[in-house]
Amino acid sequence: MMIRTACFILTVLLPSPYRWIALFGAVVLPYIAVVVANAGRETITGQPIRFNSRAIEVRKDQNRDQA
What confidence tens digit (pLDDT) does each residue in 15-64 have? 989 999 999 999 999 999 888 888 766 666 666 666 666 656 555 555 66
* Identity at 9, one-letter amino acid code: I
Interatomic CA distance for residues 67 and 55, integer angstroms: 19
Q: What is the pTM of this model?
A: 0.53
- Give 5's DSSP letter: H
Interatomic CA distance for residues 28 and 35, integer angstroms: 11
Delimit the domains of the chain by residue range.
Answer: 2-66
